[in-house]
Homo-oligomer: A and B are copies of this chain.
């Protein structure tokens, strides 16, 4: 194996340490960052996920409150709840846990979260601000994947990068974050004629499709960085196993750097959520101060 394995846990821990410092400083100014997690209905599916966020929040100095609402909560009720949280200065970020019951459209809820409290970076205005290269709240997984690339000793300006997968919350935001850093970016997807043609030309490949084994070693340029965002549960003779979208064994023979799954993008994603909590709190603090300043004029 030639590839260096990227340690997502270490990168995440480093980010959380920086977040803890920033959160402590905000707390001294009366702005202790606080997240509210909203789950609706059967919480078993998201429970492990929420408990992990809770744990990471604790270690990052971010307050975290998990709220569960009953299965039959209506969209109107949730709208009211979100409007209340939007207006509550003690709440700095709102997380909408998936899955939601069928009668609750997730995109509608995400649009109801005020952009200044959108720590998941899902609001159209948050996405648009990233396109505009404003320092804003980006979708956590996309931001995390790009943060990982930034830890590598690569000159990002002019770097040829291929992104496989063009989802709204992962592939596309990764593409414009990379454009903002000066990379030359190609986005491939299920309609692309030859993904291999594009991936082989790339100095770095991001894959976020949800298909185990999609990227193999022969699709990579020797020495390229491979950031694997897929999380797939597969059955093996030895039992269930979590793997990414890359065939790890063959890719690790060719790539220069590779993220493992689990232990790659995942831990950095949760750390990014905490970083967004701090960014959101700071933006809200500035927003309130600007508002006060204006009344003094």
Interface positions of A (Cβ within 8 A of B)? 107, 123-129, 131-134, 157-158, 160, 166, 168, 172-173, 175-176, 179, 182-189, 191-193, 198
With A131-B124, A131-B128, A168-B131 known as contacts, the answer to whether A189 contacts B198 (CB < 8 A) is no
Interface secondary structure of A, over-half rule? mixed
Question: In the complex, A172 Cα to B178 Cα: how many Å?
Answer: 12
Q: How far is the CB of A121 from chain B (nearest CB, A)?
A: 10
- Chain B residue at minimum C-beta to C-beta distance from A168: B132
A182 is contacted by which of B157, B182, B191 (Cβ under 8 Å)? B191
Contacting pair B184 A184 (CB below 8 A): no
This chain: copies in complex: 2
Instruction: Collect the chain B residues with CB atoms within 8 Å of residue A193's CB.
Output: 158, 160, 184
Q: How far is the CB of A292 from chain B (nearest CB, A)?
A: 16
Question: In the complex, A82 Cα to B175 Cα: how many Å?
Answer: 33
- Chain B residue at minimum C-beta to C-beta distance from A188: B184
Contacting pair A187 B185 (CB below 8 A): yes
- Chain B residue at minimum C-beta to C-beta distance from A192: B184
A175 is contacted by which of B107, B125, B157, B175 (Cβ under 8 Å)? B175
A127 is contacted by which of B128, B158, B182 (Cβ under 8 Å)? B128
Contacting pair B182 A184 (CB below 8 A): no
With A125-B124, A133-B168 known as contacts, the answer to whether A191 contacts B186 (CB < 8 A) is no
A126 is contacted by which of B128, B160, B186, B192 (Cβ under 8 Å)? B128
With A124-B125, A126-B128, A128-B124 known as contacts, the answer to whether A198 contacts B184 (CB < 8 A) is yes
A124 is contacted by which of B132, B182, B187, B189 (Cβ under 8 Å)? B132
Question: In the complex, A183 Cα to B128 Cα: how many Å?
Answer: 21
Question: In the complex, A182 Cα to B185 Cα: how many Å?
Answer: 16
Instruction: Other than A124-B132, A166-B179, give 6 A-B pairs with Cβ distance below 8 A.
Output: A128-B131, A131-B168, A179-B187, A179-B189, A184-B193, A185-B186
Question: In the complex, A126 Cα to B132 Cα: how many Å?
Answer: 12
Instruction: Collect the chain B residues with CB atoms within 8 Å of residue A128's CB.
Output: 123-129, 131
